[in-house]
Structure 1
């Protein structure tokens, strides 16, 4: 379910949009859209990958408190496998912008592609999560939201180490995958998982 917060505004509004979790073998994709309040700037915003976990958590709390509006959308594993990770990312970006409680006049998208059904005009910015504060904020919301969920999923699916590697293809995760086989949170369309399933069908 989207997480939404808003305050009234009559100015043209710009939303930053970014995702977390395109590369992992397991868990959902998280996509966030954020409209920052220029009257309440947040110091230290940056690409979430450049920040420590503690710093991301601290900034997350500031963003949800000070932003004019934000929305976090989770795309589950079944949808990722059905439409592929690129299309899931595009769909998530459109949903996140549409889910904002305030209408964005423009969306700044991290990367070089724009969703076709974006509900407002958009601009793709390569490396935008390090250049545009609103995209940085979206990057942080998406990353923290997904990481928290992966910790929860670690308790539901023990043995894979989701709380540690967050679903990425680390040596420990690949070893657990070989020993335990895929769980419901593994992306069947991703090569290491798909190859393992293909091997199992041969025996």
Structure 2
């Protein structure tokens, strides 16, 4: 499988041997977030191998600090921040540019709908504009429109309120519309 065909749909569960010795909450957290973390890291780094290495590092770190992580005001927000930090550190060590432009375009093409093909072709520059959004807006747009998670899933994953996700989407859409000179009317469906 090539990086352009990355498909993390095969959920990687913690092995049965380890599940018996790891904290139950950690195993549940891993199972709930692993696939989304992989998809995000892959879009960011452009490589399945890099994504797997980074996500493994994140979960290893979280396991090492698990008792302290559970004391955080928002475990999901803490873990999401760790994922972003690990991705950035990997990118800095490897001198990896943001890969969203290529991987998102391939993901859209691979899904095969005519509508997505038209969007990719007619809105050249949209992925580049997304890459320039502020961090939170970028993450919300990526998770909502590229990975196609529901608002509640994005909120849970990032450790923010669903209303905050909607607010970030609204602001990001305005910013993107200005950037790529797209006529956008508030209240339209959530397509970019």
Q: TM-score range by the shorter chain?
A: under 0.3
Greater share of residues in helix? 2
Which structure shows the bigger proportion of residues in strand conformation? 1
Question: What TM-score comes out, normalization by structure 1 length?
Answer: 0.23
Kindly indicate whether structure 1 or structure 2 has the higher relative contact order, using CA contacts under 8 Å at least 6 residues apart.
1
TM-score between both structures, scaled by the size of structure 2: 0.24
